Amino acid sequence: MAASLTAFSATGVLAAGAPSNGPSNEDLLKSASNTEAVLTYGMGPQAQRFSPLTDLNADTVKKLVPVWSFSFGGEKQRGQESQPIVYDGTIYVTGSYSRLYAVDARTGQKKWEYNHRLPDGIMPCCDVVNRGAAIYKDKIYFTTLDARLVALNRETGKVVWNKKLQDYKEGYSNTAAPMIVDGKIITGNSGGEFGVVGMVEARDAETGELVWQRPTIEGNMGTLNGKDSTVTGKTNASWPGDMYKTGGGATWLGGTYDPETKSLFFGTGNPAPWNSHLRPGDNLYTSSTLAINPDNGEIKWHYQTTPHDGWDFDGVNELVSFDLKKDGKVIKAGGKADRNGFFYVIDRSTGKLINATPFVTKITWAKGIDIETGRPIYVDENRPGAPGEGGGDAKGKSVFSAPAFLGAKNWMPMAYNPQTELFYVPANEWGMDIWNEPITYKKGAAYLGAGFTIKPLYDDYIGALRAVDPKTGKIVWEYKNPAPLWGGVLTTAGNLVFTGTPEGFLKAFDAKSGQEVWKFQTGSGVVGSPVTWKMDGEQYVAVVSGWGGAVPLWGGDVAKLVKDINQGGSLWVFKLPKA
């Protein structure tokens, strides 16, 4: 396939006639302001998912029309949670079962397709999803369900290198979009339900060779340039015995990067096993946010949202960097809508808690968050009981807990609009009956020690898109949806917020009022993340459609409510015509 004859300059503007060498480090750092492309997962390293484009607005969005739809084909449907990357007239999008496509952005014609050959015995916990790719220079990168990182030539789709990250036979997998920082490709891992050790890795983006590795479970040794570096935390400080060797804490959602503080921010998953009575202590650094030095993998600070987690409240949700304007000051802050039901505002330079407020209507496990200590004020009677309290191997006391373990917000990324100064959070209102059971670790086997049934809290809705003011925690407006919201959010300078629904709609809302101003039926549930860019003088929007993810697999009573939603696998592209 002939190479493209156009390229973006460091500012993202097409430089006609020059060979296309691909986006540089500088391009990626400036990608949030680049309206001609979508170069990073999160539409900028800080992952605000905000576009400065204004052609589409609350008035003109009524003229937004579909241009083409591209089918992923075959029988490999399942959940499609990808966010497209757009560069030089090509859309790069991942599909279920570790597939990657390059599609002509103007016509929808496939340029190439890569199908990763998956072995038998992969163990993804929550569907065979992939959330997106990373682009850098002449390569496109993505991770796979058998825990590998693949680099492809972005013009031809040919494999440049293919590196093993972890052993899938032990329960490891990878689903998150990688991230490029200073020529290094940064990845997290999946597999917390199998007693793996969570970690963040940095590899040379050209060669794939490991630069550093940082385990997220206290007591495990990190590496730097092929040698042991430092232990994460202090061995046995918050984990008993050898449990830190199977402690979970997977970094399965990937991370964000803040160039201002030069910090990677990674959320960490649940401790293993779920049965908290087996592992007394805070169980660092699970259910936390870590600030990591991208040069050497050292942890700068941590903030633990759910110490000694007993409800599977993964802390993986993204920390989105923003400027908090409060009391006449501007604070370098980060916003995080945690699975546990609280919206956290944290000083991203120090990790100090600024504020924490509920963004769902019912939280049973804690009365609130102590602002001085940063710790939850637990409701002790809402912790599931220890097995055997009734004698023998009897399961522990069951409790009804809200939110459910699928979270007040799960993986689906929120957006921040610096003009409205609001976060747009896809939330869900559900609870669960949860109880603990006896469990012992076995390599490659599920390591839960708990049982559960998820139930909706209300008859009329489960999902709620909420506009949250980070200064006060106040919910400014909300849109209620019958089925759970499981897709990402996009916001624009045109005063718009886009998100998808399981019922198949891509919807647009007025960013200030929450009024629904546009919708389109894609034919399957939308659990992907929409993006927007400008091409040939017209503003485009793209989203992946294809129902799946964790809800149909783990949703209990909620899964029964959404069992008739059609599966699919398509990339939809829309535009606002010039005339």
- Length of the chain measured in residues: 579
Torsion sign (Cα): 312, 318, 324, 330: positive
Domain residue limits at 435: 25-575
Residue with the larger pLDDT of the pair 2 and 462: 462
Confidence check: pLDDT of 1 > 60: no
Question: Does 491 score more than 90 pLDDT?
Answer: yes
Q: Answer whether residue 234 is part of any domain.
A: yes
434 occurs within a structural domain: yes
Mean pLDDT calculated for residue range 484-502: 98
- Could you tell me the two tokens for 304? 């633990």
Percent of the chain's residues with pLDDT above 70: 95
- What was the pLDDT predicted at 3? 33
* Catalytic pick among 258, 282, 312, 338: 312
Exposure on the CB side of residue 526, measured as CA atoms within 13 A: 27
CA atoms of 506 and 461, how far apart (whole Å) = 18
Is 9 a residue whose pLDDT tops 70? no
pLDDT value at residue 12: 38
Active site residue 338: no
Kindly state whether residue 3 falls inside one of the protein's structural domains: no
Tell me what pLDDT residue 578 has: 87
Q: Does 20 fall in a domain?
A: no
Residue 163 C-alpha from the chain's centroid: 22
Q: What is the CATH number of the domain that holds 165?
A: 2.140.10.10
Q: pLDDT higher for 389 or 562?
A: 562
Residue 419 has pLDDT above 80, yes or no: yes
**pLDDT at residue 31 greater than cutoff 50:** yes
Instruction: Provide the pLDDT for residue 550.
Output: 82
Is 295 flagged in the annotation as binding? no
Residue pLDDT, tens place only, 145-181: 999 999 999 999 999 999 999 999 999 999 999 999 9
Burial 265-289 (b: 16+ CB within 10 A, else e): bbbbbbbbbbbbbbbebbbbbbbbb
Asked whether residue 242 is domain-assigned, the answer is yes
Please check the confidence at residue 461 and state whether its pLDDT lies above 80. Answer: yes
In a domain, 148, yes or no: yes
The token duo for 65 is 């029309």
Asked if residue 301 has pLDDT above 80, the reply is yes
Greater confidence (364 vs 78) lies with: 364
Mean pLDDT of the chain: 93
pLDDT tens digits, 215-270: 999 999 999 999 999 999 999 999 999 999 999 999 999 999 999 999 999 999 99
The fraction of the chain above a pLDDT of 90, given in percent, is 87
Provide mean pLDDT across the span 277-288.
97
| Per-residue confidence (pLDDT) for residue 574, from 0 to 100 | 98
pLDDT for residue 118: 94
Query: What is the structure's pLDDT at 391?
Result: 55
Q: Is 104 left (phi over 0), alpha (psi -120 to 50) or beta?
A: beta
Q: Is 428 marked as a binding-site residue?
A: no
Span 135-150, pLDDT tens digits: 999 999 999 999 999 9
Report pLDDT digits (tens) over 81-110: 999 999 999 999 999 999 999 999 999 999
345 is a domain residue: yes
Model confidence at 17, pLDDT cuts 50, 70, 90, reads: very low
Strands (E), 233-389: 255-258, 263-267, 288-292, 299-304, 320-326, 329-337, 342-347, 353-358, 366-369, 376-378
Instruction: Examine residue 442 and state whether it is found in any structural domain, yes or no.
Output: yes
Count of the separate structural domains present in the chain: 1
Q: How confident is the model at residue 13 (pLDDT cuts 50, 70, 90)?
A: very low
pLDDT of res. 390: 56
Residue 286's pLDDT band, with cuts at 50, 70 and 90, is very high
Token pair recorded at residue 530: 């929409």
The per-residue pLDDT for 393 is 67
pLDDT mean over 199-224: 98
Per-residue HEC secondary structure of 480-535 comes to: EECCCCCCCEEEECCCEEEEECCCCEEEEEECCCCCEEEEEECCCCCCCCCEEEEE
Q: Is 131 annotated as a binding residue?
A: yes
CB 478 within 8 A of CB 463: no
Q: Average of pLDDT values for 57-63?
A: 96
Q: What is residue 563's predicted lDDT score, i.e. its pLDDT?
A: 82
Residue labelled with tokens 């500012």: 11
DSSP bridge pairs for 335:
320, 345
Pairing of strands 489-492, 50-51: parallel
